[in-house]
Amino acid sequence: MLSTRFPTEPALSPNCRDSLSSTSQNPGDVVYDPFMGRGTTLVEVALLGRAPFGCAINTLSQCLMDPRLDIPILDSVAECLKALTLAQETLCPEDLPTFYHPGTLREICNLRQYCIEREAKGQLDPVDQWIRMVALNRLIGYSPGFFLVYSLLSNQVVSVQSQRKITEKRQQVLPRRFVLDLILKKSKCLLGSGEAAFCDGVRAVGDRAIILTQLAHVALEISDGSVALVVTSPPFLDVVDYAMDNWLRCWFLGIDAREVTVTVPHRLDRWEAAMTEVFRELYRVLRPCGFVAFEVGEVRRGEIELETSVLRCGYGAGLAPGVVMFNDQAFTKTSNCWGIDNNVKGTNTNRNVVSNKPE
C-alpha cells in the first residue's frame, strides 16, 4: 500500500513544479544512481531512453552494469562460447566443492581464469564482459538455470560453513550443470529476436552512460548541473553487509570482498554524516529544479525513522524537502528468502524521500 506524507509544505516553486512533470517526459535526460548495486535502476533508466549514470564502491557493480549498456549481438556471444574449452584440469578453491558439482566447478574455475587473464592483458572485450556478467549472475541461485546447488538465499550467497550445513541437512546431491550451455541459454533469452527492440533502445543511450567505481560522495567525473533526476537506495545503516554477501561473485572477479570499503556505519549520527556528504555531491551534479528520490527501508524494527534522517541530510546539503512516500508491504517473496515470516523483523516498509534542488 502506498501512502504519502508531506514533511513540510511542499517547497516547489512554479518552475520546479513544471520541471517535475517534464522530468518524466524528457528522453535523453540524465538519471543518476550513486549506490547502483546490481544496476536494476539504471537498466530501467536506459530502457526508458534516459542516459544512465551510476556509481558504486564495489567493482562488481561495474562488471554487472557495463555489458548491459554496451550490449553485444547474440551471434558474437554464441561464437565466443563455442570457442571456449573449460574441461581442462585446474586448481579450484578447497571451499567451493560444497556449492558446486566437481565438473561444474572445474568449468567455473576455467572461465574465471580466462576472464582474469583477458582483463590483465587489456583484452576483455564487450563479448567477454557479457559472458562474465551472465556467469556472475548464474553463480548464485538454485533453480536449474543456475550453477549452484540449493542454498538459503536466491541472491546473496551464504558462508561456506552455512552452505556445508545446508548441504548436509538436506542430503543434497550436487547437480551437474554445464556452464557454457547455461550462459548461452540465458543469452538467447536476453539477446534473442524477441528482445531486439529493448536492446536497440538501450544501445541508443548506452554510449552516454557514465559508470563509476568509487565512493559516492566524490563523483568528480560527473559534471556540475548535468543530472535531471537521482533515484537511489543507499546502505541502510549496518543492516546488510553488501561486500561479504557478494564474496563468491567477488572471488570470481579476483577481488577480495573484505577489502571493499562499503559504507556501513553502525551509529545513526555517522550514517547521517556520510549521507550528508553524498547529498552535497548530489546537489552539485543536479541541475536547478532537479530531483532526488532517496529510498530507505525500515531498520531496527521501525524504532529508527531513517526517512527523517534523509530529510535532514538533504536539507543540510541545500535541497528542498518535497514528499515522503511509504510503501507498506505485507509478507513478500523476499521476506521469505530472508526467513522472515512475521512482518516484524526485516524491511516491511520502504520510505521514498523526494527532494529537489531549488532554482
Ligand X SMILES: C[S@@+](CC[C@H](N)C(=O)[O-])C[C@H]1O[C@@H](n2cnc3c(N)ncnc32)[C@H](O)[C@@H]1O
CB of residue 325 to ligand X, shortest distance in Å: 16
235 near ligand X (CB under 6 A): yes
What is the enclosing helix (H) or strand (E) of 55? strand 51-56
Kindly tell me the burial class for residue 193, based on how many C-beta atoms sit within 10 Å of its own C-beta (0-12, 13-18, 19 or more): exposed
262 near ligand X (CB under 6 A): yes
151 near ligand X (CB under 6 A): no
Give whichever of 262 and 282 is closer to ligand X, judged by the CB atom: 262
Give whichever of 147 and 236 is closer to ligand X, judged by the CB atom: 236
Collect all residues with Cβ–Cβ distance below 8 Å to 335 and sequence separation of at least 6: 341, 343, 346, 348
134 near ligand X (CB under 6 A): no
Distance between CA 352 and CA 110 in Å, rounded? 43
Per-residue binder mask for ligand X (CB under 6 A), 40-59, x = binder: xx-------------xxxx-
Among 233, 335, 352, 356, binds ligand X (CB under 6 A): 233
Q: Which three cell numbers stand for residue 326?
A: 511509504
Q: How far is CA 163 from the centre of its chain?
A: 24
Among 151, 163, 263, 352, binds ligand X (CB under 6 A): 263
- Among 4-12, 21-29, 190-198, 232-240, the segment contacting ligand X (CB under 6 A): 232-240
- Among 10-18, 33-41, 96-104, 176-184, the segment contacting ligand X (CB under 6 A): 33-41
292 near ligand X (CB under 6 A): no
Find the angle CA(39)-CA(151)-CA(329) to the nearest 5 degrees: 55
CB of residue 45 to ligand X, shortest distance in Å: 12
Query: Mind giving me the DSSP string for 76-91?
Result: HHHHHHHH----S---
* Sign of the CA dihedral with 280 first, then 286, 290, and 293 last: negative
CB of residue 239 to ligand X, shortest distance in Å: 9
Among 12, 23, 37, 66, binds ligand X (CB under 6 A): 37
314 near ligand X (CB under 6 A): no
CB of residue 335 to ligand X, shortest distance in Å: 16
35 near ligand X (CB under 6 A): yes
Distance between CA 16 and CA 2 in Å, rounded? 24
Give whichever of 177 and 249 is closer to ligand X, judged by the CB atom: 249
**Residue 350 dihedral angles phi and psi, to the nearest 5°:** -120, 150
Looking at residues 190 to 229 of the shown chain, list those that interact with ligand X (rule: CB under 6 A).
Answer: 215-216
242 near ligand X (CB under 6 A): yes
Give whichever of 56 and 286 is closer to ligand X, judged by the CB atom: 56
CB-nearest residue to ligand X: 37
Paired strand residues for 122:
none
- Among 31-39, 100-108, 132-140, 344-352, the segment contacting ligand X (CB under 6 A): 31-39
How many residues interact with ligand X (rule CB under 6 A)? 17
Point out which residues bind ligand X (CB under 6 A): 35, 37-38, 40-41, 55-58, 215-216, 233-235, 242, 262-263
